[in-house]
Amino acid sequence: MNARLLLLFALTLFVQGVHADWQTRSWSRWDIGAQGAEAVIGIDRIELERLGLVDDQASLGKQVDRSVAFLSAGVACPVSAVEPQAAPSTLLMLRVAFRCSAPLQSPQIRVRLLFGSTGQPLHYASVIHADVRSDALLTRGADTFDIAEAAPQRRGAEVLRDYLYLGFVHILEGLDHVAFLLCLLLAAPGLTQRLWLVTGFTLGHSITLSLAALGLLRVHGSGVEALIGFTVALLAAEVFQRRHGWRTPVVLLLVVIGAMLLAVVSGLRPGLPVATLGALLVLAPAYLLLAQRSVHADRLHLGMVGVFGLVHGLGFAAVLRSIGLPAGSRGWALAGFNLGVELGQLLLLLVFAGLLAAGTRIAGERRADEACSALASLLCATGVFWLVQRGL
């Protein structure tokens, strides 16, 4: 037992360099005048934490100075002012003013914020020029927006296509969501059970994604991210316990949650409230004990995965809030993002199921079972790390 506990501890240390999401997201709101522009630029603090960057106004100001430009006739206009803006505790915001020396000609904005990071940086820009609003999604391959040539409003089909792509890419590059899908695959032995679990997960995250993206539900960003890590750890621990009856992952999870609760009670500023940590400390053993004794495990999994889907939906909504929903086409954007997430989920499950089946044929049942147990251990350790990293 001590050796297994040491192994899980080593795996937890091993995943310290893993980021849960390879995308980095920021946004800006631009007001274009006769001889310049003003922009309010914002980013979630958790984006900077993931990249190991300092999350303060001064550091963001330096990054903006290097990576954001307003151009007239292809020439960058000088910055005339940079001021911090009041924002919720989870956000950093700056107001940046640009003053051009002559009347505007072919105005453009160029944003390369966080483009020095790995992954897929995304920047959503909303621009008002001559009382007309237009929206742009800037990426590493397309970092400049030509305001004069922009269509005032994209057609619904174009918005649907663009946001379908964003949802599809997000689920493929969001390591925490990929880890949870792997847990689903290991928890359900057959195709029918897997389809039911994916359906329950879809219903759950579609509800909270829609409510939060439309501003009808607001939650603490880092707290949601921590809970997503908990869902990975708990489901992986249950998979491991069902296969072997060993309780080491369960003990590790409870010890970590208890330590977090003690740290918060001792005065450490938490990403999760004390009440939430207390609830997790009760929920984890209750669910695992019920899962061990349950005759109808499929029903239990379906209900719990639906609840976990509610949590993951809030994580998906954080992406849409940082990217933004285009004016007049919010429904198209929301539908496209949801559809992209579902297509990405199905693709991942098909690929993982195919790899699992191929590995079983090549290596045999016993070795394949050992590999799945090792994977469950790694997923549990990874989920525990995300819970601690984001919850404290």
The verdict on residue 267 lying in a domain is yes
Do 363 and 233 share a structural domain? yes
- Do residue 176 and residue 257 come from a single domain? yes
- 169 and 313, same domain (yes or no): yes
Domain boundary among 102, 125, 152: 152
Is residue 140 domain-shared with residue 173, that is, in the same domain?
no
For residue 346, tell me if it sits in a domain. Answer: yes
Token digits of residue 30: 């631009």
- How far is residue 142's CA from residue 299's CA, in Å, rounded to a whole number? 47
User: Does 378 fall in a domain?
Assistant: yes
Examine residue 2 and state whether it is found in any structural domain, yes or no. no
The Cα-based distances of 207 to 55, 66, 109, 179, 212 in angstroms read: 31, 39, 35, 21, 9
Which of 152, 170, 203 lies at the terminal end of a domain, its last residue? 152
Are 140 and 115 a contacting pair, CB within 8 Å? yes
Tokens 């990071």 belong to: 117
Q: Which residue stretches of the chain are H helix?
A: 2-14, 45-50, 57-67, 156-173, 175-187, 191-213, 221-244, 248-265, 274-293, 297-323, 330-363, 365-391
**Same domain membership, residue 170 and residue 95:** no
CA–CA distance, 233 with 183 (Å, rounded to integer): 9
In Å, what is the CA distance from 297 to each residue of 230, 287, 302? 20, 11, 9
- In contact, 197 and 183? CB cutoff 8 Å: no
- Return the axis-axis angle of helices 330-363 and 365-391, rounded to nearest 10°: 140
Residue 157 within a domain:
no
- φ/ψ (deg, to 5) at 40: -105, 120
Query: What is residue 270's predicted lDDT score, i.e. its pLDDT?
Result: 59
User: In which element (H, E) is residue 152 found?
Assistant: none
Instruction: Give dist(CA 39, CA 249) in Å, integer.
Output: 49
Q: What pLDDT is stored for residue 97 in this prediction?
A: 93
- The DSSP code for 204 is H
If asked whether residues 112 and 176 sit together in one domain, one would say no
pLDDT (0 to 100) of residue 264: 63
Is 231 within a domain?
yes
Per-residue pLDDT of the chain (392 residues; tens, 9 = 90+): 444 444 444 444 434 433 344 456 788 889 998 888 999 888 877 667 666 677 777 888 888 888 899 999 889 999 988 888 876 666 788 899 999 988 888 899 998 877 666 556 778 888 888 777 777 878 877 889 888 765 555 667 777 887 888 788 777 767 788 888 888 888 877 777 777 788 888 888 888 887 877 767 766 666 777 788 888 888 888 887 777 665 666 676 777 777 776 766 666 655 667 777 777 777 777 777 777 776 566 677 777 888 888 888 877 777 676 666 776 677 888 888 888 888 888 888 888 888 888 878 887 877 877 788 788 888 888 888 888 777 76
Residue 8 belongs to some domain of the structure = no
pLDDT at 119: 59
> What phi, psi does 29 have (nearest 5°)?
-125, 120
Total number of domains constituting the chain: 2
Q: Does residue 18 fall inside a structural domain?
A: no
Q: Specify the pLDDT at position 5.
A: 45
200 shares a domain with 99: no
Listed residue (82, 89, 88) closest to 58, CA to CA: 82
Is residue 92 within 8 Å of 40, Cβ to Cβ? Answer: no
Is the domain of 134 the same as that of 199?
no
Enclosing domain of residue 127: 23-152
Longest CA span, the chain:
76
- What is the predicted pLDDT for the residue at 33? 87
**Same domain, yes or no: 51 and 142:** yes
Same domain, 166 and 147: no
Of the three residues 152, 175, 194, the one that is the final residue of a domain is 152
Give pLDDT, residue 338. 84
Q: Do 186 and 323 share a domain, yes or no?
A: yes
Supply the pLDDT for residue 96: 92
Let me know whether 181 and 142 are in one domain: no
Count of all residues that appear for the chain in the document: 392
